[in-house]
Amino acid sequence: MKIANRHAVRPGQLPHERPDQMTDQRTGVFPFLLTILPLLFLLSGAPDAWAGWASGDYASPLGTAHVKVSGENVAITFEEIPGTGITGKAGGAAVFETGGGDVTGRLHAESNGAFSFRAEGETMLFEPTGATGKGLSPPESPGHSVPVPSASAPSSSSTTSPPGRTPVSPLTPLGTGVAAALASKRQSDPYFGFSLLPPSGWSFEKNANGFLMKSGTRTILASPHEMNDEEMLRSSLAEGVQFPQAGTVLNLEGDVAGFGAGGVTCRLAGTVEGADARALNIALVSPHGGGASLVAWAGPDQYDASFEATARKVAESVKFEARAERPEVKEWRGVLARSRLSIIDSDYTSGLSQDGYGSGSGYSIEKHFDFCADGSFRFTDQSSYSVDAGSAGVAGGSNDANRAGQWSIHVIDRFVVLLLQYQDGQSAQHVLTAQGQTVFLDTEEWQRSGSPLCP
């Protein structure tokens, strides 16, 4: 049915429009916009814009968290749990990597610069260090509020929030539960001076040499070492792994590079127990002295980027503590401190050569190790020999060595070992045994006395 237009047409008015229709359209648009704008605001992820996603230190249920923001990418590491962290997008998908497996969730912005990681119905809250606001909820935009998905936290861990607001709480199951699970997986030994998180699903064995981890033919061995600075580590790693009698010879492949704070790493190639192998060597320095060395090896067909990533993750999980001293180490330190170990011997024989000339031969050996209580040592060698072959002439030679370095005592594979670190970067180790005043360095006999250089 057609309705006649009984109204005059004003300027700007379409001939077929009524003024009351124009008013109805305008007033009908405003309620629609007021309804749809908050929804668009939520769908666009507007709450995330308030947080700013700033880099810095945050408090979390797992202790201090270090947050690094680069564009929309967010990386979170935990100070007390190395090798574990969260990576993802600001306001988007994220993965929480743990020693027991990965947890997939999302990062959300909260208020007062806080944000949260939500996964599997649980929430972990990150608050800027020093933040005083407790009842955290997303800030309001004039005229409307933004709801927060409910978190079923225990009442003991819920934060106080203003009336009508839903609290965001650091829930126990994802927070301290993950920390406890990681702590139960951490492996340590008081005599090694470090602990670590083994790879999930790998077999694990602790022996006298360190921690042995295996997955098929892939192997990671983490052992204590006694080097105290980066230069010594670089020199040692450059030598590779040399046990030819056992069919294990791994030589440097490429350059020695830095790893973390004061650590070094390199790739190796060669053989392990007679089979072709490639390896990654990582050495770390402990603030308490010495450190940890990780060698990860596999056959060429099993050695790939994922294996390297696993080995690096284990190294990043290493946590140092003061090393407990074995009783036998303390005993041997007391034996050698302020002592001199000496080999002194000489001999000379004489006779006639075939052409009637006088002949003879002799030697003189004088070698000393002086061990000081501060861990330093000095080695001297003034040995000589001579051979008189009559008319053929005289031949001979002598040593005049004078070297210094640091000494320490360790237990390696149930043997007490003397480790000598020379100032020129070379090192040597000798199995220690004793009988009375005779000390055996491996099978060589040395006589012990007081040191004139280290009173």
Domain that holds residue 367: 327-450
CA dihedral 384, 388, 394, 397 (to 10 degrees): -10
Within 13 Å, how many C-alpha atoms sit on residue 68's CB side? Answer: 7
Pair (257, 238) in one structural domain: yes
Pair (247, 124) in one structural domain: no
Average pLDDT on 372-385 reads 93
Task: Please say whether the beta carbons of 105 and 89 come within 8 A.
Answer: no
Phi-psi region of 167 (alpha: psi -120 to 50; beta: other; left: phi over 0): beta
Pair (130, 58) in one structural domain: yes
Render the burial of 52-61: b for 16+ CB within 10 Å, e for the rest.
Answer: ebeeeebbbb
The predicted pLDDT at position 168 comes to 41
The predicted pLDDT at position 405 comes to 95
Instruction: Say which CATH number the domain at 197 has.
Output: 3.40.1000.10
Q: What is the pLDDT of residues 20-33, one digit of tens each?
A: 444 444 444 444 43
Cα–Cα–Cα angle for 219, 220, 225, nearest 5°? 145
Domain assignment of residue 414, yes or no: yes
Pair (113, 225) in one structural domain: no
pLDDT band at 275 (very low <50, low <70, confident <90, very high): very high
Pair (252, 313) in one structural domain: yes
Q: What is the pLDDT of residues 135-190, one digit of tens each?
A: 333 333 333 322 333 333 333 333 333 443 334 443 344 545 555 556 667 899 98
The CA distance from 99 to 185, in Å, is 7
The 10 Å Cβ neighbour count of residue 242 is: 11
Average pLDDT, the chain: 77
pLDDT band at 73 (very low <50, low <70, confident <90, very high): very high
Listed range (171-185, 313-327, 375-389) with the worst mean pLDDT: 171-185
Pair (375, 397) in one structural domain: yes
The predicted pLDDT at position 178 comes to 59
Tokens coding 316: 């990043």
pLDDT band at 4 (very low <50, low <70, confident <90, very high): very low
Tokens coding 210: 């360190």
Average pLDDT on 49-60 reads 74
Among 320, 343, 363, the domain boundary falls at: 320
Average pLDDT on 44-66 reads 69
Phi-psi region of 21 (alpha: psi -120 to 50; beta: other; left: phi over 0): alpha
Q: Specify the number of domains making up the chain.
A: 3
Question: Percentage of the chain surpassing pLDDT 70?
Answer: 70
Listed range (63-77, 79-93, 140-154) with the worst mean pLDDT: 140-154
Which residue has 């190796």 as its token pair?
A: 268
Listed range (21-30, 52-61, 187-196, 436-445) with the worst mean pLDDT: 21-30
Instruction: Say which CATH number the domain at 356 has.
Output: 2.40.128
pLDDT band at 250 (very low <50, low <70, confident <90, very high): very high
The predicted pLDDT at position 237 comes to 92
Question: Residue 335 pLDDT more than 90?
Answer: yes
The predicted pLDDT at position 239 comes to 92
Pair (238, 168) in one structural domain: no
Q: What is the pLDDT of residues 203-231, one digit of tens each?
A: 999 987 899 999 999 999 999 987 877 88
Pair (60, 171) in one structural domain: yes
The predicted pLDDT at position 352 comes to 61
The 10 Å Cβ neighbour count of residue 103 is: 18
Pair (315, 386) in one structural domain: no
Q: What is the pLDDT of residues 285-309, one digit of tens each?
A: 999 988 999 999 999 999 999 999 9
At 244, is the secondary structure helix, strand, or coil? helix
Question: Residue 386 pLDDT more than 70?
Answer: yes
The predicted pLDDT at position 220 comes to 97
Domain assignment of residue 173, yes or no: yes
Task: Please say whether the beta carbons of 233 and 210 come within 8 A.
Answer: no
Task: Please say whether the beta carbons of 427 and 421 come within 8 A.
Answer: yes
Pair (69, 130) in one structural domain: yes
Taking the model in full, what pTM does it have? 0.52
Which residue has 């149930």 as its token pair?
A: 414
The CA distance from 352 to 406, in Å, is 48
The CA distance from 409 to 323, in Å, is 13
- Taking alpha carbons only, the member of 325, 334, 336, 331 closest to residue 441 is 336
Pair (128, 168) in one structural domain: yes
- Asked whether the CA dihedral 255, 256, 260, 261 is positive or negative, the reply is negative
The predicted pLDDT at position 273 comes to 93
pLDDT band at 102 (very low <50, low <70, confident <90, very high): confident
CA distances from 74 to 42, 99, 141, 316 (A): 21, 20, 26, 19
